[in-house]
Amino acid sequence: MPKLKPDPALNPEDLLAAEYEYIANTVFQANEDRSRVASFYFVSVGSIVAAILGTQFATDNLKSVSPAFAILFLFLTILGALTIAQLARLRAAWHESVQAMNQLKDFYIKAHPEIKSAFKWRGTTIPPTDKPFSIANLIAVEVTLLGAITTAVAVYFILFTFGNIMLWGWVLIFISFVIGIILQWRWYKRLLVDDR
């Protein structure tokens, strides 16, 4: 294979501008994808819950379909965990893109120090991936809470399959809700790292 010689007519500024545009598009796409992922999950869970609530069940009939509902809500819990994973990885991708953008800014600032004040975000001022009360974090909290609710509802239907739920059953349902929150939030935080 012949060795290519560099073309002196190529302008490195064009390459840097194209790279910056590409990075800007990846930042935008990560934000768009986060919105779509969360919306899909909320609509999926909401539709299923609305369908169940719209169906009239006598207690005896509900007992016969309880195993199916337990499986359905376990599936929704898994879907919630996958949604949390997608939200975390998209947030990390956004963060990586912003870091790349700032690397280009730093390159230009070294060459042209007078433009330094034009940039609010720099390598040291980028918001962290897990910034409290950011839109990304609040969406993750919503998905985590909804995933914990589907976990608790799955436990409810598992217990209801075996008979009326006693006080200890309600305690178990509450514990499953709390454990659902803890596990899904830890899962989210674990996947937030942006060096994978």
Quick: pLDDT tens for 138-182. Answer: 999 999 999 999 999 999 999 998 888 888 989 999 999 999 999
pLDDT of residue 134: 85
**Is residue 6 assigned to a domain?**
no
**Is residue 196 assigned to a domain?**
no
The size of the chain, in residues, is: 196
The confidence band for 11, taking pLDDT boundaries of 50, 70 and 90, is low
**Structurally, how many domains does the chain consist of?**
1
pLDDT of residue 120: 72
Nearest CA to 37 among 76, 78, 82? Answer: 82
Range of the domain at 78: 12-49+60-191
**Is residue 138 assigned to a domain?**
yes
pLDDT of residue 4: 57
Nearest CA to 146 among 84, 89, 188, 102? Answer: 84
> How crowded is residue 153: how many other Cβ atoms within 10 Å of its Cβ?
22
The H-assigned helical ranges of 54-134 are: 59-111
**Is residue 25 assigned to a domain?**
yes
At 85-134, the pLDDT tens digits run 999 988 888 888 888 888 878 887 887 788 777 777 677 777 888 888 88
Nearest CA to 102 among 14, 31, 195, 27? Answer: 27
Give the C-alpha separation, 130 to 137, whole Å: 6
Q: Tell which wins on pLDDT, 26 or 183.
A: 183
